[in-house]
Amino acid sequence: MRVRHKPWARGKLEHYTDIVIRSPKYYNGEWGEAFHREARLCVEIGTGKGQFIVGMAEKDPDANFIGIELHESIIVSALQKCLDANLKNVRLINADARGLTEYFAEDEVDDIYLNFCDPWPKNRHEKRRLTYSAFLAQYEYVLKSHGAIHFKTDNQGLFEYSLESFSQYGFLLRNISLDLHHANDRENIMTEYEEKFSKKGQRIYRCEAVCND
């Protein structure tokens, strides 16, 4: 994603400390405290501008949602969407998902969402893909038993790589779709990228990977 620098973004993120969590490690194992209630915990990695997490949080007010996004100039748009929607069940973390196991305890997370993550097509960049085995190890650690990774992409190469990576790691695969928008899934909440790609007529691939223990 091209990132347009917004010099005011940091100030805004620092202002809304109730939504943008400055020290996620502090809540490791106790995320209920950050929401003032215990509930299902759903984490989106690479939240981008927040359309998906806000849509999910509105659809499922009984769950707690956390969006992790690397760039402050992007996550600030997700913050604005949360404010506009007056949502109480979303928290945002402006950080690298590589630190996942520092932010969440073992067996703390119910669902992980990976939407349209960067494909990193060159072999030498494999380790940067969010479905590379080192990331899967972190997901497995924080996910509850039978917790799921929900994965969507427009990129066929990344999809095929990810199916193999999930499967080799030992996750069970379910709900695979090679053309999600023609599968008539009324439950589907679209992300910004998903809308953009599907308008261009591109296929959307989807699968879920479940911890096998």
Task: Kindly list the residues in this chain that would bind ligand SAM in the complex (CB under 6 A).
Answer: 1, 45-46, 48, 68-71, 74, 96-98, 115-118, 191-194
Our answer to whether residue 118 is catalytic in this structure is: yes
Q: Which of 118, 179, 185, 213 is catalytic?
A: 118
For ligand SAM, the closer CB: 32 or 55: 55
Q: How far is the CB of 213 from ligand SAM (least distance, A)?
A: 25
For ligand SAM, the closer CB: 159 or 193: 193
- Do the bridges between strand 205-210 and strand 143-153 make them parallel or antiparallel, or are there none, so unpaired? antiparallel
Q: Which residue has the tokens 């990977």?
A: 209
Rounded-to-integer distance, Cα 167 and Cα 160, Å: 11
For ligand SAM, the closer CB: 115 or 165: 115
For ligand SAM, the closer CB: 16 or 132: 132
In degrees to the nearest 10, what's the CA dihedral of 204, 210, 211, 213? -160
Query: What are the C-alpha distances in Å from 117 to residues 101, 183, 207, 208?
Result: 19, 22, 14, 15
CB distance 113 to 45 below 8 Å: yes
Q: How far is the CB of 51 from ligand SAM (least distance, A)?
A: 7
Q: How far is the CB of 193 from ligand SAM (least distance, A)?
A: 3
Q: How far is the CB of 37 from ligand SAM (least distance, A)?
A: 26
Sign of CA dihedral 169, 121, 100, 154: negative
From first CA to last CA, the distance across the chain in angstroms is 35
Residues carrying an active site annotation: 118
